Structure formats: structure tokens, C-alpha cells
A = this chain, B = another copy of it.
Amino acid sequence: MEISRASERAQEYSNEKGKWFCGFAYNEVRGLGYEKGIHRRDPSNIILVGEKYYVWYTKSVGPYNTLKNGDVYGKTSPKDYAEIYYATSMDAINWVEEGCAITRGESGAYDERTVCTPNILVCEDMYYLVYQTMQQGEFSGTNMCISMAKSTSPTGPFVKMKEPILVPTNYTGLFQDTPVDNYNSGIFTGVAQEPCLICYKERYYLYYKCAIQQDNVKCAGIDSRWGVAIADAIEGPYTPCEYNPITNSGSETLLWKYQNGIVALLNRDGPEKDTIQYAEDGVEFDIMSHLDNTPLGGGVFQAEDIVWSPLAGLQWGLCHCNEQMSTWNYLMRFDIDRRSKPYKIPTCYAYNV
């Protein structure tokens, strides 16, 4: 006897495909929680050094407006006129803000206006921060670059590189997201945000977001896609992948390694928002599961060995409550919700097998 197509899919969920599903639980953290007058957001991945957890994040002070009065020098976002701070914790719940890791640059520097949205990669005992930077001018994604700083210690000092490592095509610089002469990738080149750097197959994959932010042109949320730029050495040069964009959805980048490939959690924006996707080559992503209640701006704990399960790299992390939820952005902890178990066909529910 035949079974329905839906029942065939149920069998897939009960086997391999079920491993890609999870729920999320959210809890407050102490030390990085709500604080009137302060924005904290965009936590990096979390690393364990010795007995301490470390996290980096965007911090800015005071209110902002959204260019309503046409003042291009006014603060327009919690990420504007921001700096990168870091915090440590012994238990991943109680955090201590240790201080500033990356300050804004001097007047005229490529990072004079803001530094924000950090991520961390430890490589050969060096600590590399990647983050967004902006020179003075009208605040918008299109003026954002991705920059890098390194240190021999997680506590710093971090030494900035002389130039950003990834800049949009309309920037007065060297970077081109794709070879513009033979592939007009248009507005996708205009932004480089939310970096996530992964050492993968002995090269360096710098994932980043390109949010076009046209007026709700699609199924859900703003129009956002990701690209990747690849380098043989961690300090670059980074060459944008010819397949960019490599997603059609997703806000802040969140990726981790699994087996021979890369797993991505795409949140908030686009027709494929709230999905887990997998690319065996780090570039060609396929949808593996649809989730809900996904973290915003999440950074995940970097465990030593995260290849045993697709979601092992997503066990817990920090994320932010952003301006849509709170006047003052702040950080929270998320965990995979174990009450949302992988799909199982109940034994009493007999298929015709």
C-alpha cells in the first residue's frame, strides 16, 4: 500500500533530516544585559581561553535618530559612533565587561566614524578580530568596510591593519566584490557587513552580509544576502567568490563547520529566513531545516570538536535584543532548546512498512 508524500517526508524527518531541527531558549545574562543609555549588540563568537570565556561586541552610548533631520553627522543607529568592547565570564552567564578592544580611528582614518560588529578567529596562537568600519560621511551600509586587527592575547592590545580587508566597489579603494568588468553584480557590491571568518580547508573564508534594504521588496523582512571572500593567508588579500551572492536571505552571518562543509543559520530576512543551510564546499548552500524563534545577531561558542552533529556548532551563544525590541540594545544568551527534540515518528504510528 502506498503512503502519502507527506508521510514519506515524515520518514526523512525521523531519520537524517531530523538532526537539523532545533528550538531555541533565551535567558538573561548578567553584566551585559539591559542598561539604560548603553547599546550592546552584535556579539562575536565566544571562545574559551584557559578558564575564561571571551566575547567581543558593538558598544555605543546614547540615543540616535534615523536621519530624520537630515543631519548626516548625527548618530543614526546603535552601530554608529560605536566601539568594540569585550567581556569575560567563568560560567557564560555572569559576564564582566573588561574594556575597549577596538577604538574608533583618528580623524581621517578609514575607521574614524564607527567600528562595530566584531567576530573573532584564533589562528596559530594569534587572535584576529574582523569587524565593520566606516569613515565619516552619511551613515549607511554602503559605506561600510570590513577591517581586521590582531593580537597575541585575547585581552589585546589589538593592532589594526593599515587598510580594510574588504571594501565596497563604490569605495575609493582596491577591493571589488566581483570582477566588475565581466560580471555586473550591481548593488550587491555596495555593502560589506557582519563578517564571520572561518579557517576552512586551509584557506580563510570571510562571510559577510549585503543588505540592500529596499523598501520591503520581498517575502519577509529587508532584502539581505551573503557573500564570501576567500584568501590563502588570514591577512588577505581576500577575493570575492564568483558565485556571490551565496545566499538569498539572512541577516547577521552565523556559520560553523560540520564534517567537510559549512553550516549557516539564516535569520530574520528573506524567503529562506529561519533556515539552517549546508554547503559541502562552503559556497553552494542547500536548505536543511526550517526553524523559528532564531537568534538575532548571534555568536556561537567555538567548541574544539563540533563535527559530530550538524548543530553541535550551535549549542549555545549570545545574541542581541535589537532596536525593534528595546530602545537600548542588550545581549542575551541562547541555547538549543532540548525540549524541541528531533522529529520522531511515534512507534504506535505505523507506516505501511
Contacts and interface: CB of A to CB of B under 8 A. Distances in A.
Interface in A243-298: 243-249, 270-272, 274-275, 283-286, 289-290, 292
A307 interface: no
A223 B352 contact: no
B2 A346 contact: no
Contact of A220 (B17, B23, B242, B246): B23
A69 interface: no
Given A4-B244, A4-B284, A242-B2, A346 B9 contact: no
Interface string A114-146: 000000000000000000000000000000000
A342 interface: yes
Interface stretch (A55-63, A150-158, A200-208, A211-219): A211-219
Given A1-B242, A248-B9, A352 B21 contact: no
A5 interface: yes
Given A218-B13, A292-B220, A340-B220, A4 B352 contact: no
A118 B157 CA distance: 68
A243 B3 CA distance: 5
Interface stretch (A76-84, A100-108, A184-192): A184-192
Contacts of A13: 218-219, 248, 271
The prevalent SS among residues of A at the interface is loop
A4 B349 contact: no
Contacts of A4: 243-246, 283-285
B350 A186 contact: yes
A49 interface: no
A7 interface: yes
Contact of A218 (B5, B220, B248, B343): B343
A9 B1 CA distance: 34
A32 to B, nearest CB: 28
| 9 residue pairs, one from A and one from B, having the closest CB atoms | A10-B248, A21-B219, A218-B343, A4-B243, A186-B350, A187-B348, A13-B271, A186-B348, A219-B343
Given A6-B249, A185-B349, A271-B343, 18 more contacts: A2-B242, A2-B243, A4-B243, A5-B284, A6-B225, A6-B246, A6-B284, A7-B245, A9-B272, A21-B219, A21-B220, A23-B219, A184-B350, A186-B349, A216-B340, A218-B341, A218-B342, A271-B290
A74 interface: no
Contacts of A185: 349-350
A183 B2 CA distance: 11
A219 B345 CA distance: 11
Contacts of A212: 346, 349
Contacts of A352: 183
A246 B220 CA distance: 28
